[in-house]
Amino acid sequence: MKITAANSSGCDLQLPDDILIRKFTVLYECEIGAGTHIGSHCTIGRCKIGKRCKIQDGAVICDGNVVEDEAFIGTNVTLCNDRYPRTCNDDGSMLGDGDWKLEPVTIRRRASVGSNAVIGPGVTIGEGAIVGCGSAVFHDVLPGTTVLGNPARTIRSLV
C-alpha cells in the first residue's frame, strides 16, 4: 500500500491488506507491504517496507531505506541514511533536501535487527542475518550471520 501524504494519528490504524499501524507513529510518503505491523512512536520516512514485517515501537526508518519481506526491526532501532550530517553551509544558510548524499540502508528478507541497534549509512543486513540488541553496525552483514557489539563483529555465520 502506498501512503501518499504525511500522516500521524493518535489512534491505532487498521489499513487494508492487514496492515496495522499503532498510534503516535509518523508516516511520510512510504510503501508498506501486506500484513506488516508497525508499533507506536515510530518514524517511517520516504522508504519501502515489505510484506509481513514487524517494526517495533520507537523505530526510525529514514528516507530511502528498504526493509524487505518478513524482516524484524526491534524497539528504538535507527536506520541511518546520512554519513556526514550537517545543518548549514559555511555561510549559515540551511542545507536543503538535495544538499546531502543519501546512503540508504537495506535490511534483507527475514533479517532481524535487535532493540536499540543503529545501522550505519549504506549498510546492507543480509537475508536471515541477526543484529544483536544495542549494536552499531558499519559494515555489510552476510546472509545468515549474527553480529553484535559496537562496532558490531560476527559471532556466528552460516556462510
Ligand X SMILES: CC(C)(COP(=O)(O)OP(=O)(O)OC[C@H]1O[C@@H](n2cnc3c(N)ncnc32)[C@H](O)[C@@H]1OP(=O)(O)O)[C@@H](O)C(=O)NCCC(=O)NCCS
Question: Which residues of this chain interact with ligand X, rule CB under 6 A?
Answer: 74, 114-115, 130, 132-135, 146, 148-149
Q: How far is the CB of 63 from ligand X (least distance, A)?
A: 24
Query: For residues 104 and 81, is the Cβ–Cβ distance under 8 A?
Result: yes
Q: Rank residues 124 and 135 by Cβ distance to ligand X and give the closer one.
A: 135
Q: Which CB atom, from 64 or from 137, has the smaller least distance to ligand X? A: 137
Q: How far is the CB of 40 from ligand X (least distance, A)?
A: 15
CB of 137 to ligand X, least distance (A): 11
Q: Which residues are within 8 A (CB) of 42 and not within 5 positions of it... i.e. 6 or more apart?
A: 22, 25, 26, 55, 57, 58, 59, 60, 61
* 5 C-beta neighbours (distance < 10 Å), count: 7
C-beta of 7 vs 116, nearer to ligand X: 116
Closer residue to ligand X, CB minimum distance, 59 or 64: 59
Q: Phi/psi of residue 18, each to 5°?
A: 60, 35
DSSP assignments along 135-152, one per residue: -EE-S-B-TTEEEETTTT
Least separation in angstroms between residue 155's CB and ligand X is 6
